[in-house]
């Protein structure tokens, strides 16, 4: 059965790292989303995101979309179907609002991975090392942008505390072998 692995959690928790691992090890494609935020060093157009201008963003047809600060993010049904043509399992990095939309619209096709770390200090250190602007880090690690796991989503969430990447990979290996049996 076709499934979508939703990956959500705070900035710096390791969502992109996990999605990359699923692709490199299992060929599980990432459903690319669209954003108007500027590219970070190391990111590539149509690899990390479809980077858009405010005008090109307006022309798209979204499954759901959100705004973070002054930047827009959104995902399309077309992108999901395209990824599903390549593989029955696909991954998608979203925020918590996106998780609600996907669970509502796709029900049991959703496998929800919630990624976090034991401490917020670890997130801050990783984001500084990644080269993020300290002001932006402050915003990302507070309020709604922190993407904490809400009580009503706990029943759907498979939580990964990504303090140790090797341990995380082992957990992912057993998750994928179970999902591939479905």
Ligand X SMILES: Nc1nc2c(ncn2[C@@H]2O[C@H](COP(=O)(O)OP(=O)(O)O)[C@@H](O)[C@H]2O)c(=O)[nH]1
Q: Which stretch binds ligand ADP (CB under 6 A): 13-21, 77-85, 106-114, 143-151?
A: 13-21
Contact string (CB under 6 A) for ligand X, positions 79-108, x = contact: --------------xxx-xx----------
Task: Identify any residues that bridge with 115 across adjacent strands, giving them in sequence order.
Answer: 160
Q: Does 68 bind ligand X (CB under 6 A)?
A: yes
What are phi and psi for residue 117, nearest 5 degrees?
-125, 170
Residue 97 site contact among ligand ADP, ligand X, none (CB < 5 to 8 Å, cut-off depends on kind): ligand X
What does 13 interact with, of ligand X, ligand ADP, none (CB < 5 to 8 A by kind)? ligand ADP
Quickly count: other Cβ atoms within 10 Å of residue 142's Cβ: 10
Residue count at the site for ligand ADP (CB under 6 A)?
Answer: 14
Find the shortest distance in angstroms from Cβ 167 to ligand X. 21
> Please, which residue, 114 or 172, has the CB nearer to ligand X?
114
Beta strands 71-75 and 157-161, pairing class: unpaired
Residues 36/57, Cβ–Cβ less than 8 Å: yes
Query: Which phi and psi angles does 99 have, rounded to 5°?
Result: -60, -45
Query: Is residue 102 a contact partner of residue 6, using CB atoms and an 8 Å limit?
Result: yes
165 binds ligand ADP (CB under 6 A): yes
H-only helix segments in the chain: 15-26, 54-58, 77-86, 96-106, 120-130, 134-140, 165-181
Residue 13 as a binder of ligand ADP (CB under 6 A): the answer is yes
With binding defined as CB under 6 A, does residue 137 bind ligand X?
no
Residue 156 neighbours by CB distance under 10 Å: 15
- List contacts with ligand ADP (CB under 6 A): 11-17, 126, 129-130, 162, 164-165, 168
- List contacts with ligand X (CB under 6 A): 11, 16, 33, 37, 64, 66, 68, 73-75, 93-95, 97-98, 147
């Amino acid at each position: 059965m076709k499934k979508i692995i939703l990956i959500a959690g705070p900035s710096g928790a390791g969502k992109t790292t996990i999605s990359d691992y699923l692709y490199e090890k299992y060929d599980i494609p990432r459903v690319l989303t669209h954003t108007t935020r500027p590219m970070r060093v190391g990111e590539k157009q149509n690899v990390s995101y479809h980077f858009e201008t405010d005008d090109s963003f307006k022309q798209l047809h979204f499954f759901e979309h959100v705004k973070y600060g002054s930047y827009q993010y959104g995902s399309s049904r077309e992108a999901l179907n395209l990824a599903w043509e390549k593989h029955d399992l696909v991954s998608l990095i979203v925020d918590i609002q996106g998780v609600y939309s996907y669970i509502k619209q796709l029900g049991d096709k959703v496998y929800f991975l919630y990624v976090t770390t034991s401490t917020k200090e670890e997130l801050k250190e990783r984001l500084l090392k990644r080269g993020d602007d300290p002001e932006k880090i402050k915003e990302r690690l507070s309020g709604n942008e922190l993407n904490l796991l809400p009580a009503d989503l706990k029943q759907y969430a498979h939580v990964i505390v990504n303090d140790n990447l090797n341990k995380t990979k082992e957990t992912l290996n057993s998750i994928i072998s179970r999902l591939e049996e479905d």
